[in-house]
Amino acid sequence: MATQLMQQLSETVNYIQTQYAAKPVVGIVLGSGLGNLTAEMTVEKEIPYDKIPHFPVSTVKGHSGKLIFGEISGKKVLVMAGRFHFYEGYTPLQVTFPVRVMKALGVETLLLSNAAGSVNPGFKVGDLMLINDHISFFVPNPLLGKNEDELGTRFPDMSEPYSKTLIAKAKEIGQQLNYDLKEGVYTGVTGPTFETRAEYKLILAIGGDAVGMSTVQENIVAIHAGMQVFAVSVITDLGIRDDENVITHEEVLAAAKEAEPKLTRLFKELIAAI
């Protein structure tokens, strides 16, 4: 007999397929203030989260809350405009449910974006950081509990959580577009508080370059499912500063908006190259 998760997946996927028949090959998750990519796509279908069986609903400002199907750069894509976060009170299973739905619908490549705070002194607000690795010790692993063998192996290898091939391609594109792309390690935390000064120092000391409240759980589930993942952080605030260190969500959204056209262009060119 199917477990609850498999049953829910099947019901969700069946519902979506009654609404949209084509098979998306690229899935995209847009982070805080980064919804603009959808303006660049040929939209074929939009489904609000609250219409989709078993889907959580986004509660955060800057996240719109719908699945958008269509085409970018000649490829069929599925965009999540608005993601779910552990800090909203969702379980890791709920946070990552949409990634499993994407895989079941045919998505093989997942592009993730997020707004993140920098702890690397070489970064500035507005930079794009290609994520080449992550630290997820501070966030519950979404694969805890019984393993669904149909979805992936019990002990997934995490030696290449972000596709080296896609990172190399993105760097090439960055050079062509004259973007000063950064690269580094993303540290996932639960939020919703921004970090203390001591926490920023700790993250820097353990090898983090940026810190944020999303992405790592989605990545783990995508790797578990055998997808290839590419992720970018938009640096929206600087964690380690000598002066006043107060950060607001409004500032983060404003900084994301500023950097958004670059991210959109990078994603468009990368999708064309996949």
The whole-number pLDDT of residue 259 equals 85
Using a 10 angstrom Cβ sphere, with 0-12 exposed, 13-18 middle and 19 or more buried, the burial of residue 151 is middle
DSSP E strands: which ranges in the chain? 26-30, 42-48, 66-72, 75-81, 109-118, 128-135, 182-188, 210-212, 228-238
Confidence category of residue 248, pLDDT binned at 50, 70, 90 = confident
Global confidence as pTM: 0.94
Any idea what the Cα angle at residue 141 is, between residues 217 and 156, rounded to 5°? 85
Structural domain contains residue 15: no
How far is residue 13's CA from residue 11's CA, in Å, rounded to a whole number? 6
Three-class SS state of 35:
helix
Among 58-62, 115-119, 176-180, the least confident range: 58-62
Taking residues 75-99, what's their average pLDDT? Answer: 94
Kindly report the length of the chain: 274
Structural domain contains residue 16: no
The whole-number pLDDT of residue 27 equals 98
Average pLDDT for the chain: 92
Of 205, 218, 246, 258, which is closest to residue 80 (Cα–Cα)? 218
Taking residues 151-162, what's their average pLDDT? Answer: 97
Taking residues 80-105, what's their average pLDDT? Answer: 94
Structural domain contains residue 90: yes
**Tokens (6 digits) for 34:** 């980064």
The whole-number pLDDT of residue 1 equals 59
The whole-number pLDDT of residue 237 equals 85
Find out whether 100 and 151 touch, Cβ atoms under 8 Å.
Answer: yes
**Tokens (6 digits) for 199:** 């926490």
Structural domain contains residue 7: no
Structural domain contains residue 245: yes
Structural domain contains residue 168: yes
- Taking the alpha carbons at both ends of the chain, their separation in whole angstroms is 38
185 has a pLDDT exceeding 80: yes
Domain range for residue 51? 24-273
Query: What is the count of structural domains for the chain?
Result: 1
Find out whether 67 and 13 touch, Cβ atoms under 8 Å.
Answer: no
Containing H/E element for 257? Answer: helix 249-273
Cα dihedral sign for 128, 131, 132, 135? positive
How far is residue 65's CA from residue 47's CA, in Å, rounded to a whole number? 9
- The CATH number assigned to the domain holding 212 equals 3.40.50.1580
Question: Percent of the chain at pLDDT above 70?
Answer: 94
For residues 178 and 241, which has the higher predicted lDDT (pLDDT)?
178
**Tokens (6 digits) for 211:** 């810190």
Taking residues 61-81, what's their average pLDDT? Answer: 88
Structural domain contains residue 79: yes
Structural domain contains residue 103: yes
The whole-number pLDDT of residue 171 equals 98
Among 96-105, 156-165, 237-246, the least confident range: 237-246
